[in-house]
Structure 1
Amino acid sequence: MQTEKVVEYIVNWLKDYAVKAKVNGFVIGVSGGIDSAVTSTLCARTGLEVLTLEMPIHQASSQVSRALNHITWLQSNYSNVRMTQVNLTPVFDSLIEALPAVESEEARFMSLANTRARLRMTSLYYFAALEKLLVAGTGNKVEDFGVGFYTKYGDGGVDLSPIADLLKTEVYDIAKYLGVNTEIIEAAPTDGLWGDDRTDEDQIGASYPELEWAMAMADSGKTAEDFSGREKEVFTIYKRLNTANKHKMDPIPVCVIPDNLK
């Protein structure tokens, strides 16, 4: 990958889109992870307004400190970057109290994890509307088009996706080129939806380089029968998630009424 030229291309794409949309710039949630760090830096390089939001919900302190350190680094390098902290923990807790009890605590736990992402999306769009900004997405290619590892109408609810055509390993290459803090580059990827230290690999069962390999194999027409051992295991994980999450990655189905019924 021609990293420098890719960075220039994305920055120009972001700026052109914003100018044509007649908006002031971008708003982005900064989580302390690699994807939001790279995306926020690319947005900052446009020279347009960039509002970064730090939105903890029972967040691990390490994630909060990485996010704040990154925002501080951004502001020291780009004068167009602002920051607002929105503590969503009380909102989340109040919502839990308002919701009726359910029999399955496991199902409730899973549903509430996605609710965290949707509360953050709502906050991003509040500021986007208030200040005439675009919500910049942070999903990469493997997450957005491979395994669907994001929350529908949560972190998947955005106006534009600057890094969605980049593999995770390519995002790391860009992060190093941009000078993103080492603590973010070295941190294990996590979606931060659980209030603990579980990583993406813990949840998925495979690393991003493994998933990138499986994605390439699937795109080339391979099946699980073509592999054995760990490769077969990873390929099976990829195909299972890809199939299960098609509802996120495909357009919303529309019931088209036949003309003769209208």
Structure 2
Amino acid sequence: MQTEKVATHITNWLKNYAKTSKVNGFVIGISGGIDSAVTSALCAKTGLDTLCVEMPIHQDSKQVSRAKTHIEQLKNQFPNVSDVCIELTKSFDSLQNTLPISDNIQKYNLSLANTRARLRMTTLYYLAGIHGYLVVGTGNKIEDFGVGFFTKYGDGGVDISPIADLLKSEVYALGKILNVSESIINAAPTDGLFGDSRTDEDQLGASYNELEWAMNAYLQNKTPNDFDGRKAEVLNIYTRLHHANLHKINPIPVCKIPQEFK
């Protein structure tokens, strides 16, 4: 990948889209992970207003620290960057206490995790509304179009997705030329939605490097039967997750009414 050219292309794309849309800038949630770090840096490079938002909900202190450090670095480098921290723990706890508890603990915990993401999406759109900004997505190609590893109408609820055509390894490559801190580059990817130390790999059952390989194999119409050992296992994981999450990856189905019924 021609990393410098890709960074410039995305920056210009962001700037042109914002000007065409007649908005004032961008708002983006900062998690302390590589995807939001790279995306916010690209937004900052446009010269347009870039609002970085921390939205902790029972957040791991290391994630909070990485996010704060990244935001400070951006603010020191780009005068168009501002930030706000909106503590959502009390709001989340209040909402959780009003919701019925399910006997299925696994589904209950997953629903609560997705509720965190949706509460953050609501917050970002509130800020976008009062400032006239676009909500910027941070999903990469594996997450958004491969295994569907995002929350529908949570972190998947955005106006634009500048890095969604980049594999995770390509996002890391951009991070290096954008001077993203080593603490973020070296941190194990996590969605931070469960309030514990579980990583994306813990949840997915495979690393992003493995999933990139599997996505390529899948697009070549390979099946797990074409491989042995770990490769067969990883391709099986990818295929299962891809099919299970097509309801997130594909556009919302619309029931078309036959013309003769109208």
- Report the TM-score range of the alignment, normalised by the length of the smaller protein: over 0.9
CA distance in 2, matches of 1:31, 1:255: 37
Equivalenced residues, count: 262
Task: After superposition, give the CA deviation of every residue in 1:5-64 in whole Å (9 maximum; x if it has no partner).
Answer: 000000000000000000000000000000000000000000000000000000000000
Q: Distance in 2 between matches of 1:8 and 1:112?
A: 38
Partner of 1:99: 99
Matches within 5 A, 1:41-190: 41-190=41-190
The equivalent residue for 1:6 is 6
Identity in percent: 64
Distance 1:68 1:26 in 2: 18
Partner AA of 2:94 in structure 1: S
Q: Distance in 1 between matches of 2:104 and 2:3?
A: 47
Specify every segment of 5 or more residues in structure 1 that has no aligned partner in the other structure, as ranges: none
CA distance in 2, matches of 1:199, 1:137: 20
User: Which residue in 1 is equivalent to 2:249?
Assistant: 249
- Alignment correspondent of 2:216: 216
Aligned counterpart, 2:199:
199
Q: Aligned equivalents of 1:210 and 1:243: distance in 2?
A: 18
Structure 2: distance between partners of 1:10 and 1:18? 12
> Residues of 2 paired with 1:185 and 1:164: CA distance?
18
Q: Aligned residue for 1:29?
A: 29
Q: CA deviation at 1:258?
A: 1.2
Shift of 1:221: 1.2
Letter of the 1:146 counterpart:
G
> How many Å separate the matches in 2 of 1:232 and 1:100?
40
1:54-111 deviations in Å (ceiling 9; x for gaps): 0000000000000001000110111100000000000000001111232222221110
The letter of the residue matching 1:143 is E
Does the residue aligned with 1:149 lie in a helix, a strand or coil?
A: coil
Runs (4+) of structure 1 exceeding 3 A deviation are: none
Q: Identify which range, 232-241 or 219-228, moves more after superposition.
A: 219-228
